Structure 1
């Protein structure tokens, strides 16, 4: 009777170290934990071969060793979850306007709100599936018109769009101020899928990308002909010549002004040496007189 071959003890030690570690371990650290004389490289290769057909594989990540789930079984670890996020105030306002005023364009939404509507706000409502493009308005630019969907009714537990609260109900719940301007009214919402007279059907190529502003590409500079280049060079030379002429004229003008100033102001006469000496003598006499007075 054949006895099973005993498994090397170093493989059990490696298994224990790798399973207990929360992070991958490098080969040098494993070698320090193993008994003397163990070929750590050969042991890791053998352990890797043993785990290759199993649900858990021994892999090397960034020169470190760790156990990981087999790649072909990664789908078992995948978990889908739904994240609940609150709509922003702007998104709620846009949704309410679409629900009550549909079909409505983005420009009409902005006119009712009084502020510019961010494209991201409409994108969020499109992603939730609560609004949809209905058609195109028969006006210049053919803007998209928006309306609500069945998902909107399901989300808010409405049997039909006509079940939305009217003016009196909104007042009663405190959602509207009791002192409203004269003539204020809440439209009767309708989600009739039939296009209105001022709407055109969507074209086959219309997608949500139509909501994106097209990227503005820089206009390619047209190649200059030889005659245009020569004309520009000549214009540049003429401009340079005019600048030099202007500079020379300014220099001449400054010289003329300086000459006229010199002629208008006579040179101050230099004092004679004798006059200077006399002034000094008179000053000395004055000093002597003051001393005598004292």
Structure 2
């Protein structure tokens, strides 16, 4: 009898209770939470992934959804209700065309070095452009290339995916769609002036990648 009672102490709570636990953690977290982190917080034997599946179904069609962001999960406003949140915007930061093109190149070619970005754009990339994207936490440093000089690479962050409601970079629109939106048009050809010399950093800003 004592042995049976001891084993019950390590019994996982009912799945419905696990679902409530996952809901509480996601609701209180400002950042997406990985399954491994959820399991680490929950009682021994709990299955966060199974609880997430139930929670996702329960929120289907509601005002908020349980969504996957990269390899993590979060509770986010339903896309069709995003317009209701516009009044909560305090500050809007617009990206220059140079920053938009640099961000697009990183997203579609990651991991990519600065030299490769410059080769694709046909102009040099100013330090300010990279610093702005790093500061916004939309890109981060990736692994160094095993080539002479060991250049660092850049990749998009989970914050970037979260901002645009993407599960991973494969969900990005096609290059044709970007060109149709005007994001990859009118790029200077190799040999033309750099961003700094042309003032490209401060002109031709777009609202499509604004940070709210």
Q: Which has the higher strand share?
A: 2
| Greater relative contact order (CA < 8 Å, ≥ 6 in sequence) | 2
Q: TM-score range by the shorter chain?
A: 0.3 to 0.5
Q: Which has the larger radius of gyration?
A: 1
Q: TM-score, normalised by structure 2?
A: 0.42
**Quick check: which one's helix share is greater?**
1
